[in-house]
């Protein structure tokens, strides 16, 4: 069961995800991210993964596509709150070097 919440803080959109991110839920998550980018056109999109217990390659693919989509609209994508299990998957796939990753949501919003 995936729980997704979105909110706006200034020019930043924040998407908070909780649960397992796998093939079964990527369509739902894709819709939320696409709608957020299309409607708010944020300068900064923060995806908070603090509540994510597991992410598979479909989920990683979705995040890569989200970054590409934000890049095209001259925005930035910051990820934050990666739990150890998720961090391990990011390390294995070198994606720690592909995304801007922050410890907390506040850090991600500040871009620190």
Q: Is 56 in the site for another protein (CB under 8 A)?
A: yes
Q: Is 93 in the site for another protein (CB under 8 A)?
A: yes
The rounded distance, in Å, linking the Cα atoms of 34 and 42 is 11
Question: Shortest distance, CB of residue 109 to another protein, whole angstroms?
Answer: 26
Q: Is 94 in the site for another protein (CB under 8 A)?
A: yes
- Beta carbons within 10 angstroms of residue 107's beta carbon: 15
Question: Taking the CA of residue 91 as centre, how many other CA atoms within 13 Å lie in the half-sphere pointing to its CB?
Answer: 7
Q: Is 43 in the site for another protein (CB under 8 A)?
A: no
Query: Binding another protein by CB under 8 A: which of 17, 37, 45, 60?
Result: 60
Query: Binding another protein by CB under 8 A: which of 68, 73, 104, 106?
Result: 68
Helices 57-72 and 26-40: crossing angle in degrees, nearest 10, is 10
Q: Point out which residues pair with 17 in neighbouring strands.
A: 4
Query: Binding another protein by CB under 8 A: which of 6, 95, 100, 107?
Result: 95
């Amino acid at each position: 069961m995936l729980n997704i919440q979105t909110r706006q803080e200034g020019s930043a959109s924040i998407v908070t995800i909780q649960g397992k991110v796998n093939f079964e839920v990527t369509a739902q998550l894709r819709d939320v991210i696409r709608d957020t980018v299309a409607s708010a056109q944020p300068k900064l999109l923060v995806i908070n993964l603090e509540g994510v217990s597991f992410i598979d390659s479909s989920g990683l693919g979705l995040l890569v596509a989200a970054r590409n989509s934000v890049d095209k609209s001259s925005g930035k994508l910051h990820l934050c709150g990666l739990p150890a299990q998720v961090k391990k998957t990011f390390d294995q796939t070198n994606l720690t070097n592909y995304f801007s990753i922050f410890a907390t949501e506040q850090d991600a919003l500040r871009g620190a």
